[in-house]
Chains A and B, each alone.
Chain A
Amino acid sequence: MNLIPAEWAAVLYLVAAVCFILALRGLSSPKGARRGNLTGAAGALIAVVTVFLSAKLDNLPWIIGVLIVGSLIAAPVARRVKMTQMPQLVALFNGVGGGAAAIVSLLELSRVHSPYTALAVAFTLLVGGTSFSGSAITFLKLQELMPTRPLTFPGQRFLMSLVVLASIAAGTYVTIERLFVAALVLLALGLVVGVLLVLPVGGADVPIVISLLNAFTGLAVAASGLVLGNTLLLVAGTLVGASGTILTRAMATAMGRSVSGIIFGAFRKGGSTAGSTAISDRPVKSGTAEDVAILLNYAQKVIIVPGYGLAVAQAQHTLAELAETLEARGIEVLFAIHPVAGRMPGHMNVLLAEANVPYEKLKEMDEVNPEFKSADVALVVGANDVVNPAAKTSPGSPIYGMPILAVEDARQVVFLKRSMRPGFAGIENELLYEPQTTLLFGDAKDSLSKVLAAVKGM
């Protein structure tokens, strides 16, 4: 429809772009986050309405039908997804966005008349394809449909170099000759790059890779904006590409990793980087819920370290009740939140907020680490990698260099664990075998309920 002139459409696109900038700024502060997100959604709505009103479009019934179907699929899934599965859902949404950008550019190739637009097509195909397949692999890893440890095979580096060279060749063909077949080949190569890029990334680093692929998709969208001559796509995609890059670096810094180390680490070492995933048969000290209750009841200061296991068991309410019960007896209780505890930054804050744990009780890593020395008990609930001293002591370990919570400084350490299975990064935790450590096996919710009952009975 041509209901509004092109100038108006340009102004409305500008309004949408401003909405996106405000959205990103809002999302960077706790106060404005939710409003920021709604501002972004409003911008998107304005943009979509504008394209319907301003562009000359055929096949309208089809487009609107698919739009409705897509919304009806996505909204309920996003509404109902479990907390623990949010990161993989974000990965999935990111991947389909990259795929959409690649298809848009592929279909526009026949209308392209200048070499620089053709270059933008080539860029979108390669990067969009990479983002699509890379996100698919991160989804499979987070959903544990494939092994979460770094996967490497002999010749991986060689194959990657080969694919990159082939991509340059195909990209040149797309740019100069505008060959449709070369474009398809380039898209296929992009898909291969995504798989090769993410396979060697270890489980704990996956959230950072999602953020990186998110920035990739942003750049692919920006490039398709160049292809279509659409300034909104250019600006919005570039915003996401730039802010995504900053965010990726911030996330990597929070874990003490470098982005290039994560992407190329496994390539450089060229072999299996993960420690043994076999379960060791060394003796450990396992206790009963009553033993743990006694330790807690006679402590003066308890620091609770929540992890992914807490989220899986949905035990946050029981944990909050245990903390309240202990506090009612004059015991100081703190929660130590590692930046990447769980499967995404902020995971534990969300979970504990849901159980109404006061915000002041949640201490970030730098703030809480000196406190462990004066703590009688560190209660580790379903966390593993974030308290693994291997990050400090064994340079060969994949998590070496990641800042960890100093639970080993506490007088007693209690682990609530499902089994002796190593954590997400696939590395054994030496702390489990230390004399001051007590293990209580079982589902976090069951264990916490039993401990809570025992504490109340004292």
Chain B
Amino acid sequence: MMDPITLLTLFVLAVFVGFEVVSKVSSTLHTPLMSGANAIHGIILVGAIIVAGEAHTPLILAAGLFAVLLATVNLVGGFVVTDRMLEMFGGRRAPAAKKPENEE
């Protein structure tokens, strides 16, 4: 286990990275960005796997596996639905780039 100060340092630095990295987002991309960020916190799956892997009673195992299920839905569903949203955006990039139609 890391000492509290190291963890606090990580936390504060991550806050600033999180602020900076999305500071210039256009309103068109608000929803996909929200959805993508939503998928990223599905990484709680790692925590759920650890907890389920430590379980020694059926009740705790059941609760841990339930957490694995919820986290998987968050992670997998989140990335897939974001990709689907962006796939729909894809159609408009070709005309925006004003490329002649030389490829079918």
A binds B: yes
| Binary CB contact string for chain A from 29 to 58 against chain B (1 if under 8 A, 0 otherwise) | 111011011101101100110111001111
The distance in angstroms between the C-alpha atoms of A29 and B24, with both chains bound, is 8
CB-CB under 8 A for A243 and B64, given A30-B28, A30-B93, A214-B37: no
In the complex, whether A356 has a CB less than 8 A from a CB of chain B is yes
Q: Which residues of A contact B14 (CB under 8 A)?
A: 222, 234-235, 238-239, 242
Contact of A51 among B46, B67, B77 (CB under 8 A): B46
Task: Give 1 or 0 for each of A236-279: 1 = CB within 8 Å of chain B CB.
Answer: 11111111111100110010000000000000000000000000
CB-based contact A346/B43 at 8 Å: no
Q: Are B17 and A70 within 8 A (Cβ)?
A: no
Q: Is the CB of B31 within 8 A of A56?
A: no
Q: A38-B83, A59-B61, A228-B50 are in contact. Are A116 and B26 (CB under 8 A)?
A: no
List the B residue with the shortest CB-CB distance to A68: B72
Known contacts being A28-B25, A51-B50, A89-B77, is A104 close to B44, with CB within 8 Å?
yes
Across the interface, do B29 and A116 meet the contact criterion of CB distance under 8 Å? no
Given that A33-B32, A51-B49, A346-B32 are contacting pairs, would A70 and B21 also be in contact in the complex, using a CB cutoff of 8 Å?
A: no
The answer to whether the Cβ of A447 comes within 8 Å of any Cβ in the partner chain is no
Question: A58-B55, A62-B61, A97-B71 are contacts. A28–B33 as well, Cβ < 8 Å?
Answer: yes
Decide: B42 and A97 in contact? CB cutoff 8 A: yes
Complex contact B37–A33 (CB within 8 A): no
Interface stretch (choices A72-80, A280-288, A367-375): A72-80
Q: A74-B73, A74-B76, A345-B30 are in contact. Are A103 and B67 (CB under 8 A)?
A: yes
How far apart are B48's CB and chain A's nearest CB, in angstroms?
5
Q: Total interface residues on B, using CB and 8 Å?
A: 83
In contact, A250 and B30 (Cβ under 8 angstroms): yes
Assess the A86–B29 pair: CB atoms within 8 A: no
CB-CB under 8 A from A169, the residues of chain B are: none
**Which of A36, A77, A78 is the most central at the interface, judged by chain B CB atoms within 10 Å of its CB?**
A78
Main secondary structure of the interface of A (DSSP, over half): helix
In contact, B36 and A48 (Cβ under 8 angstroms): no
CA distance A57 to B94 in the complex (A): 48
Contacts of A228 in B (CB 8 A): 47, 50-51
Render B40-63 as a binary contact track against A, CB cut-off 8 A, 1 for contact. 111111111111111110001101
Please determine whether B31 and A353 come into contact, CB atoms closer than 8 angstroms: no
- Across the interface, do A354 and B88 meet the contact criterion of CB distance under 8 Å? yes
The reply to whether B38 and A24 contact each other, CB–CB distance below 8 Å, is no
The CA of A160 and the CA of B10, in the complex, are separated in Å by 33
Residue of A nearest to B45 (CB): A48
Give the contact stretch, choosing among A357-365, A382-390, A404-412.
A357-365
The reply to whether A27 and B80 form a contact with Cβ atoms under 8 Å apart is: no
Chain B residues near A47 (CB, 8 Å)?
Answer: 43, 46
Q: Is the CB of B40 within 8 A of A58?
A: no
Q: Bound state CA distance, A364 and B90, in angstroms?
A: 19
A selection of 9 A-B contacts at a CB cut-off of 8 Å is A34-B83, A44-B42, A60-B53, A111-B54, A235-B14, A238-B15, A239-B21, A242-B15, A358-B92
Interface residues of B (CB under 8 A from A): 1-2, 4, 7, 10-11, 14-19, 21-56, 60-61, 63-93, 95-96
- Contacts A34-B86, A67-B45 aside, 17 further interface pairs with beta carbons under 8 A come to A24-B40, A31-B93, A34-B83, A38-B83, A48-B46, A70-B69, A71-B76, A100-B44, A104-B44, A224-B47, A234-B10, A238-B15, A243-B21, A246-B23, A247-B33, A247-B34, A351-B88
